[in-house]
């Protein structure tokens, strides 16, 4: 990414612009094995699914340009993400009317929660490419959820499971005191707990 001036109106309060892509995550980076990897969507849906890596790659792809905001106060602008839109995935599994929340997980204990309506934004996707390259393992590759309008901890790295729920269920960081909404524009970093 070349150095450029970012319109200050695009920078959420308390954030600093970076061209680097810092690496932050919980635990070790999982090993990706294309032969055993799977992606599961379950819970309050009409059509639960389990996809292999090759099946996932056959889904219709989208390219989104969006900003990325970390709770540790850095923001990276104009990221080019390629993957499968959350909306498409929701259309595929058909959430039941009572489904109002979604929890995404990496299959190893990390989870993040959001209201379904937030994930239905047109810029939310399951990304396998970043800036034209396969998503690096340290950034969540082979697949991560990208939710541009929320702090990055809601963008689950190494995402492999999605559950549609009636009631909200706090994720990994939310049970540790982080905000449930994670809105960078209101600096909603830390919550009152559950």
Question: Quick check: 193 pLDDT over 60?
Answer: no
121 — pLDDT class (breaks 50, 70, 90): very high
Ranked by mean pLDDT, which of 17-21, 45-49, 188-192 comes out on top? 45-49
Question: Quick check: 37 pLDDT over 80?
Answer: yes
2 — pLDDT class (breaks 50, 70, 90): very low
Sign of the C-alpha dihedral, residues 180, 112, 149, 78? positive
20-29, 100-109, 120-129, 185-194: least confidently modelled range: 185-194
Q: What is the CATH number of the domain that holds 79?
A: 3.90.420.10
Q: Is 28 a domain residue?
A: no
**Model pLDDT for residues 51-110, shown as the tens digit of each residue:** 999 999 999 999 999 999 888 888 899 999 999 999 999 999 999 999 999 999 999 999
23 — pLDDT class (breaks 50, 70, 90): confident
pLDDT attached to residue 168: 96
pLDDT attached to residue 71: 87
Q: Is 103 a domain residue?
A: yes
CA distance 173 to 26: 10
22 — pLDDT class (breaks 50, 70, 90): low
194 — pLDDT class (breaks 50, 70, 90): very low
165: enclosing H helix or E strand: strand 161-165
Q: Is 161 a domain residue?
A: yes
Rama region for 155: left / alpha / beta (φ>0; ψ in -120 to 50; rest): beta
Question: If you search the block for the tokens 């729920």, which residue do you land on?
Answer: 165
How many domains does one find in the chain?
1
CA distance 121 to 124: 6
Q: Is 26 a domain residue?
A: no
pLDDT attached to residue 192: 52
Q: Is 170 a domain residue?
A: yes
Q: Is 7 a domain residue?
A: no
Q: Which domain holds residue 92?
A: 36-186
118: enclosing H helix or E strand: helix 116-119
Q: Is 9 a domain residue?
A: no
Q: Is 19 a domain residue?
A: no
Task: Calculate the CA dihedral of residues 188, 190, 193, 194 and round it to 10 degrees.
Answer: 40
SS3 150: coil
Q: Which residues contact 35 (CB under 8 A, 6 or more apart)?
A: none
Question: Could you count the other beta carbons within 10 Å of the beta carbon of residue 191?
Answer: 16
Q: Name which of 125, 17, 161, 155 is nearest 77 in CA terms.
A: 17
SS3 137: helix
Task: Calculate the CA dihedral of residues 64, 70, 73, 74 and round it to 10 degrees.
Answer: -50
């Amino acid at each position: 990414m070349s150095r450029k001036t970012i319109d200050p109106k695009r920078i959420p309060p308390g954030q600093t612009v970076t061209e680097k892509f810092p690496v932050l995550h919980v635990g070790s980076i999982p090993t990706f094995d294309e032969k055993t990897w799977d992606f599961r969507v379950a819970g309050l849906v009409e059509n639960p699914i389990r996809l292999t890596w090759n099946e996932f790659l056959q889904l219709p792809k989208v390219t989104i340009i969006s900003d990325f905001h970390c709770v540790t106060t850095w923001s990276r602008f104009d990221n080019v993400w390629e993957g499968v839109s959350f909306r498409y995935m929701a259309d595929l599994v058909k959430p039941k009317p009572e489904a109002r929340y979604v929890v995404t997980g990496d299959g190893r204990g990390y989870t993040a929660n959001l209201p379904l309506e937030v994930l239905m934004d047109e810029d939310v996707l399951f990304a396998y490419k970043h800036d034209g390259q396969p998503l690096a393992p340290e950034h969540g590759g082979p697949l991560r959820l990208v939710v541009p309008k929320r702090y990055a901890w809601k963008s689950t790295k190494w995402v492999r499971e999605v559950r549609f729920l009636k009631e909200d269920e706090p994720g990994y960081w939310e049970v540790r005191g982080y905000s449930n909404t994670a809105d960078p524009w209101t600096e909603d970093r830390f919550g009152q707990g559950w």
